[in-house]
Amino acid sequence: MQTEKLVQPQVHAATLPVDVRGGVHFDLLAPGTVTFVMHAPFKPYVSLVGDFNRWNTRAHPMVTNGRGTWWITLPHPGQTRYGFYVAIDEQAHSWVGDPYATQVAWTSDGPWAVLPERPTPFPWTDQAWRTPRLQDLVIYELCVRDFAGRWQGNRPRYGNFQELLKSVPYLAELGVNAVELMPIQAFPGESSWGYNPVFYFAVANVYGGPNDLKAFVDACHRHGLAVILDVAFNHAWGQHPYYQIYPPMYGPHGEELTDWNPFFHHTPRAVNMWGGVDWDHFNEHTTRYFQDVVRFWLQEYHVDGFRFDWVCGVDYDSRDPMAPGFNPFHGISAICWAARQAKPDCILIGEYWQLEGTHPEKTAAKLVAETPMDACWRGEFHHGLDDVLNQRWAWEKRDIFRAIGGFREEGFTAATQVVNYSCSHDEVRPEHEIKFYSWPHIRRPAGMSLQELALRKGLLGLITLLAAPGIPMIYAGQEYGEDTPRTIDFCPLEWHKLERPAHAAHRAVVQRLLWARRSLAALRSDFIQFWPDNFAETGVVRFVRWDDEGNFVVVALNFGEEPRTVSCSMPHDGHWMDLVAERSYEAVQGELTLSLEPWQGMMLIPTPGP
């Protein structure tokens, strides 16, 4: 932003014939033309600038509809960088990129939008594709940079969509049916997890261009994989064009003038602890902007849905923080509504926990009940399971039964309303934590290596995850027992571990468990019944899953350090197969006796015979 005394030219008013708030629109008013639109409420002057007019702020002044939207239509000037010159007030102005830019050029003088040549429609082949039902979802979370990246000659080779495309058959063969991409919207620099977004309509350049992402989504759909985008709507980084023209405003006594800013507000650190600048999702201008964002990705890129990061911050109303519910016209509810209108079967998942200073009735379960949100990440599952796997202080007193099957006690009415996980990008991998932090207070049997301990406990966590009611999600590399540290820095998966017998065997077991989750209706139902176990004394958990058709799966888990012999009252006599060890058992007179080694889990399904 620059400050000087400005002389404003005359501004003309005209109504744009369609209801758009930003971006470029080809042939909107006449063939061969491009209409540029910028939504800048309360600004006295906006002009279009770019390489095509040598960044002349007077060459192409834009007209306004009188309600904050500015526009101009020109013959297509060819591919060019462009942006907007905005008079912030009578003394200050700023040169910014397009908040709706679909392609961005990051240069030394700032990020600019890129107008492409006339676009050619992408040759989609997914016309027959249908997004999976919630009860059928098995999600695989990954970071494009790390999943498809590698070190080469001590230099990072960040993953991109062209490299990720090569792994689509691997993911399909593994047995998942949804890929959740950590944020890919354009961010500053080349290496990031993506939770510092700037241009919400553009793919991060380091990952490739628009057609690279479309090719990946199209390939995923051909292989039976849905694509879910993780999006960070709570905050943006300071390079965002709207922040450049709407900086914080203060009165003569230093008071915050929050009502003068149509996009951002001042919030306490408890609401935005992640840095960046905080969006005001209870302002109509911000609401419309993010509704346009979700519509764009669903329609332009055919993605299947979103995982909304830090929803509690998105839905924080600084004017009325103690509101007991979710406003249907603003915040996350309005964003989800727009997504549902664009794609009725889209998948909408939120990360939500109650914020300090907000109403105690505003819970994750209420979010699902009152808004179009389908499901929420269930931290209670992870936290309980992780304490038990790492044998933290008083772990044997944790209510592991509630962690596994207590979704109703948290207010949810169906298992499809929760997403369970034993690890995500937010947590340290169980294998890493056990190998580097927890192992000193865990008593290993004689002859068991630290690596074997970590793999066994990691697998026990995945057995629990895939046997529990709720939508399961695994984090990239869990299928083979990856143990790299948690870091936002570049940390590619170590795929060479699959060449080791222990890791290859680990992956084979997980693949069988994923098959069971996808194939057995009993594991996709809401139904679970625990058998009585004194967990504090034995570390054992036993339960049965079933469906409406009378199909059963029996699960036995030993979280303790000692071998245990347990008896299970089976639903019926006959042969049962443990999918983990691929060992057959026979139930006689409704009973089956099992021997569980330390940290061993079994998933038993009925089979015709030996």
What's the pLDDT tens digit per position in 251-283? 888 887 767 789 998 665 555 556 688 999 999
Cβ burial of 395 (10 Å; 0-12, 13-18, 19+) is buried
Q: Which residue is associated with the tokens 């509630």?
A: 402
Tokens read off for 561: 């350090």
pLDDT tens digits, one per residue of 548-581: 999 999 999 999 999 999 999 999 999 999 999 9
**pLDDT higher than threshold 80 for residue 478:** yes
The answer to whether 463 touches 580, Cβ cutoff 8 Å, is: yes
Q: What is the pLDDT of residues 373-383, one digit of tens each?
A: 999 999 999 99
What pLDDT does 275 receive?
Answer: 67
The rounded radius of gyration (Å) of the Cα atoms in the chain is 27
pLDDT for residue 89: 82
Q: Which CATH code for domain 527-607?
A: 2.60.40.1180
Q: Is the pLDDT of residue 7 over 60?
A: no
CB atoms within 10 A of CB 54: 8
pLDDT score of 109: 87
User: CA 447, CA 485: separation in Å to the nearest integer?
Assistant: 26
- Same CATH fold, 527-607 and 2-115? yes
- Measured at the CA of 213, the angle between CA 19 and CA 160, to 5 degrees, comes to 135
> pLDDT at position 581, please?
98
- pTM score, whole prediction: 0.96
Over range 321-336, report the average pLDDT: 96
Helix (H) or strand (E) holding 463: helix 450-467
pLDDT tens-digit map of 116-152: 998 899 999 999 999 999 999 999 999 999 999 999 9
Q: What is the pLDDT of residues 406-451, one digit of tens each?
A: 999 999 999 999 999 999 999 999 999 999 999 999 999 999 999 9
Q: How confident is the model at residue 4 (pLDDT cuts 50, 70, 90)?
A: very low
Domain ranges of the chain: 2-115, 134-464, 527-607
Supply the pLDDT for residue 8.
53
* Structural class in CATH, domain 2-115: mainly beta
Count CA atoms closer than 13 A to 107's CA, side-chain side: 11
Q: Of residues 254 and 249, which shows the higher confidence score? A: 254
What are φ and ψ of residue 570, in 5° steps?
-80, 150
| C-beta separation of 12 from 63 below 8 A | yes
CA 581 to chain centre: 33
User: CB–CB of 139/419 below 8 Å?
Assistant: yes
- Give the per-residue SS3 of 521-562: HHHHCCCEEECCCCHHHHCEEEEEEECCCCCEEEEEEECCCC
Q: How far apart are CA 199 and CA 194, in angstroms?
A: 11
φ/ψ of 552, rounded to 5, equals: -130, 150
Q: How confident is the model at residue 402 (pLDDT cuts 50, 70, 90)?
A: very high
Residue 610: pLDDT above 80?
Answer: no
H or E segment to which residue 139 belongs: strand 139-142
Alpha-carbon distance of 122 to 300, in angstroms, equals 10
> At residue 37, what are phi and psi to the nearest 5 degrees?
-130, 135
In whole angstroms, give the CA distance from residue 69 to residue 63. 8
Between the alpha carbon of residue 1 and those of residues 45, 199, 330, the distances in Å are 15, 18, 30
Q: How many CB atoms lie within 10 A of CB 583?
A: 11
Q: Could you give the dihedral angle defined by the CA atoms of residues 426, 429, 432 and 435, in that order, rounded to the nearest 10 degrees?
A: 120
Q: What residues pair up with 333 in beta bridges, in sequence order? A: none
10: pLDDT strictly greater than 70: no
Task: Give me the mean pLDDT over the 4-16 stretch.
Answer: 63
pLDDT exceeding 90 applies to what percent of the chain? 89
pLDDT digits (tens, 9 = 90+) for 498-525: 999 999 999 999 999 999 999 999 999 9
Summarised one tens digit per residue, pLDDT across range 195-248 is 999 999 999 999 999 999 999 999 999 999 999 999 999 999 989 999 999 977
251 to each of 210, 219, 255, how far by Cα in Å? 43, 54, 5
Residue tagged 């819970």 (tokens): 363
Predicted confidence band at 102 (pLDDT cuts at 50, 70, 90)?
Answer: very high
Confidence at 1, pLDDT banded by 50, 70, 90? very low
CATH class name, domain 134-464: alpha beta
Of 93, 112, 94, the C-alpha closest to 104 is 112
Percentage of the chain modeled with pLDDT above 70: 96
Per-residue pLDDT at 276? 83
CB 276 within 8 A of CB 293: no
Average pLDDT, the chain: 94
Distance CA 516, CA 478 (A): 17
What DSSP letter does each residue of 357-407 carry, written as one string?
Answer: TS-TT--HHHHHHHSS--EEE-HHHHHHHHHHHHT-TTGGGS-HHHHHH-T
pLDDT exceeds cutoff 80 at 609: no
